[in-house]
Amino acid sequence: MRYLVPVSLIVGLLVLLGIGLRLDPTEVPSPLIGKLAPPFDLPTLEDDGRVTSDVLLGQPTLVNFFASWCTPCLAEHPLFMRLSAGGSVRIVGISYKDRPEDTSRWLARHGNPFALVARDAVGASAIDWGVYGVPESYLLDAEGRIVHKHVGPISDADWRGTFEPKLRDLARLTP
Amino acid sequence: MKTWLPVPLLSLLPCLLLFAGAALAVPEVNEAERPRYQALLHELRCVVCQNQSIAESNAPLAKDLRGQVATQINAGRSNDQIRQYLTERYGDFVLYKPPLRARTLALWFGPFVLLAAGLVMAVWFTRRRRRPPGAAADVPAPVDAAALQGLLDRYPGERP
């Protein structure tokens, strides 16, 4: 009984430290969740056309910041290829600080899962979106609102556990 | 909720923009604005390096953000406007000095609450240890001379 207070204090401290160990300090929560996606007006990858953020409207969309020099992007690439083949969600790619010829070569080599690719050569749009690492992905609803942000490659488990339920919610809300 | 990362850890982490990607040249700030510019850079956290301000960091993203701050200073925007611009994108985390809000109350006052709790406990424990007034002093029990002599006789070898 006389050890109740110190023991409970130490157990409480250990629990807090345990929780702290499992947090990822590199994951910065985005203030953009629930807000409209930042507008952009960027060149397309292949030609002289422009892509504006209006293309994000109309259906749920996954916006993915990637680069040919980004090794971790390859980890999520097979998932994106499957998703685009299955047609479960439209994926829009934004190549980050990459030369267009490098991006094109990378997409030719690994396959192109993107409905369209915009080019952010100087990383200015990336700052608007709060990007601080590639890959970063944003799930948008049909009105262009950011529903979820994921930093780092999306694993199959992330997709099943987080993105799929959110996509189902979106489908239910907009029949 | 994070799960433990599997062994091929590196391939699953994002390419934090510490080294990769060329940064733009940072625009110049005029002499009069330079102190404000430098002061502002020191209170903004580099989100990729996390323990450096964007003034200190060499990460390309930090350089890009320095460029943003310079551009906005040149455009005549106030410190508050620039801070707001960055927190809208990267959250309060970019500010080394978080704003005082309902959800940051614990951050601002938690340490003082803990300090006060520690002081209260210290006072409580020392008070409890102190003898209450009027209580018998800690005098050793009176020695029974006969019993002592008996013990000494029983163990003659142990005599000092």
Q: Which candidate, A146, A127, A27, A66, places its Cα nearest to that of B89?
A: A127
Question: Looking at the partner chain, which of A29, A72, A122 has a beta carbon nearest the beta carbon of B91?
Answer: A29
For residue B90, which residues of chain A lie inside 8 Å, CB to CB? Answer: 28, 31, 130, 132
Residue A174's pLDDT is what? 60
The CA distance from B121 to the nearest CA of chain A, in Å, is 11
B74-109 pLDDT tens trace: 999 999 999 999 999 998 889 988 888 888 888 899
| Rounded CA separation A172/A163 (Å) | 14
| Rounded CA separation A116/A51 (Å) | 9
pLDDT in tens, chain B (160 residues): 344 444 445 555 666 766 655 566 678 888 889 999 999 999 999 888 878 899 988 888 899 999 999 999 999 999 999 999 999 999 888 998 888 888 888 889 999 999 999 999 999 988 887 766 656 666 677 788 888 888 888 887 766 5
For residue A28, which residues of chain B lie inside 8 Å, CB to CB? Answer: 47, 90-91, 93
pLDDT surpassing 80 at residue A2: no
Residue B14's pLDDT is what? 66
In this structure, the number of other CB atoms found within 10 A of the CB of residue B68 comes to 22
Note whether A145 and A60 are within 8 A (CB): no
Measured between CA atoms, the residue of chain A closest to residue B92 is A31
For residue A137, which residues of chain B lie inside 8 Å, CB to CB? Answer: none
Instruction: Give yes or no for A153 touching B (CB within 8 A).
Output: yes
Residue B60's pLDDT is what? 87
A15-63 pLDDT tens trace: 999 998 888 777 777 889 999 999 999 999 887 789 999 999 999 999 9
Residue B6's pLDDT is what? 43
Percent of chain A whose predicted confidence (pLDDT) is above 70:
98
Q: What is the mean pLDDT of residues A139-148?
A: 94
Domain count for chain A, please give it.
1
A148-159 pLDDT tens trace: 999 999 999 999
Residue A24 inside a domain? The answer is: no
Query: Cβ contact (<8 Å) for A123 and B21?
Result: yes
CATH number for the domain formed by residue range(s) B15-94:
1.10.8.640
Domain locations in chain B? 15-94, 99-129
CA distances from B106 to B97, B101, B109 (A): 14, 10, 5
Query: Cβ contact (<8 Å) for A28 and B20?
Result: no
Residue B125's pLDDT is what? 86
Query: Cβ contact (<8 Å) for A152 and B90?
Result: no
Instruction: Give yes or no for A29 touching B (CB within 8 A).
Output: yes
Q: Name the pTM for this structure.
A: 0.76
pLDDT surpassing 60 at residue A10: yes
Query: Cβ contact (<8 Å) for B14 and A152?
Result: yes
Residue B137's pLDDT is what? 61
For residue A72, which residues of chain B lie inside 8 Å, CB to CB? Answer: 11-15
Residue A67 inside a domain? The answer is: yes
pLDDT-based confidence at A142, cuts 50/70/90? very high
Query: Cβ contact (<8 Å) for A31 and B48?
Result: no
| Rounded CA separation B160/B157 (Å) | 8
| Rounded CA separation A73/A77 (Å) | 6
Residue A42 inside a domain? The answer is: yes
CATH assignment at residue A98: 3.40.30.10
Residue A18 inside a domain? The answer is: no
DSSP reduced 3-state for A105: helix
Domain range spanning residue A118? Answer: 32-173
Instruction: Give yes or no for A135 touching B (CB within 8 A).
Output: yes
The CA distance from B92 to the nearest CA of chain A, in Å, is 8
| Rounded CA separation A62/A88 (Å) | 10
DSSP assigned state of A88: S
| Rounded CA separation A81/A11 (Å) | 47
Note whether B118 and A5 are within 8 A (CB): no
Question: Looking at the partner chain, which of A25, A28, A75 has a beta carbon nearest the beta carbon of B90?
Answer: A28
Note whether A60 and A142 are within 8 A (CB): yes
Query: Cβ contact (<8 Å) for B12 and A70?
Result: no
DSSP reduced 3-state for A114: coil
Question: Looking at the partner chain, which of B12, B21, B60 has a beta carbon nearest the beta carbon of A155?
Answer: B12
For residue A130, which residues of chain B lie inside 8 Å, CB to CB? Answer: 89-91
Residue A86 inside a domain? The answer is: yes
| Rounded CA separation A48/A108 (Å) | 19
The CA distance from B46 to the nearest CA of chain A, in Å, is 9
Residue A130 inside a domain? The answer is: yes
